[in-house]
Amino acid sequence: MAIFKGAGVAIVTPFHEDGSVNYEQFGKNIEYQIANGTDAIIVCGTTGEASTLTHEEHLEVIRYCNEKVAKRIPVIAGTGSNCTETAIYLSKEAEKIGVDGILVVTPYYNKATQKGLKEHFTMIANAVSIPMILYNIPGRTGGVNILPETIVALCREVKNIVGVKDATGNISQVAKLMALAGEDVDLYSGNDDQIVPLLSLGGKGVISVLSNVAPKQTHDMCQKFFDGDVEGSRKLQLEAIDLIAALFCEVNPIPVKKAMNLQGQNAGTLRRPLTEMEPENAARLEKAMKTYGIL
């Protein structure tokens, strides 16, 4: 059984102006997501700026999120690293905290072979007992791509590797994956502009940036599809395309934090090396939000 089905938010980590984590606001953001139908919370991923959190902050943010959610919906913790031992450490600590699953990104910079990827993911999964989702995002990992055959083998050979968040943008590769996978791989879209296409290939849902600012719409996009209203789901996908493009006109999470601040969600500042949005892109984002009806 899938860890979750529907729209999971890749939630931001709000910061104070001095760069410290704003837990009070984080709690408000979590409650906003749950109140608007979000099906799962994915904490300390790319959107949560996990790469600039210390290990102590990383685990404390996971702990706070898990306690705040209190099992109302699943919590999945990002615990990946380009160091296998570090990923094992973070994953074991996240399991102790009590999360429902972990999301583990392809090791970046090292440029592992498929053999290396299999060993990396297998060692992490074997160190814990909770379900693990692979995160395939070549654009952030030096072009390293987990091939469909590797994903299927991992999901079949390692009992708690259950699926993949696919952010390759390659629909042909996803189609090949699902043709090979049968019922053995839980597929989640990692791209908000491809939610419905991946659902049509057998996807279980999305791990979404868009959900930070439009949680109900993203949930409804998935639910309509599951309910058989494919036309309604398609309509919601297409209505969101311009906003999604604006949310990714600079590297994530720069635009989504700006969007949340415009909404009054107080996502706060960014940690370096990320910087504030360029004025012309911020204007484009604000216009798209107004057109979409969330500002």
Of 59, 29, 27, 24, the residue nearest 44 (C-alpha): 59
Residue with tokens 């083998």: 153
Tell me if residue 77 falls in helix, strand or coil. Answer: strand
Question: What does the block give as tokens for 100?
Answer: 């429902």
Give Cβ neighbours of residue 137 (< 8 Å, ≥ 6 apart).
46, 105, 106, 165, 167, 168, 190
**Amino acid symbol at 292:** Y
| Catalytic hit among 68, 135, 224, 257 | 135
Please return the burial class of 200, using the count of CB atoms within 10 Å of its CB with bins 0-12, 13-18 and 19+: middle
Q: Is 135 a catalytic residue?
A: yes
Q: Is 235 a catalytic residue?
A: no
Of 164, 206, 199, 201, the residue nearest 185 (C-alpha): 164
| Catalytic hit among 5, 68, 118, 165 | 165
DSSP state of 50: G
Residues tagged active-site: 135, 165
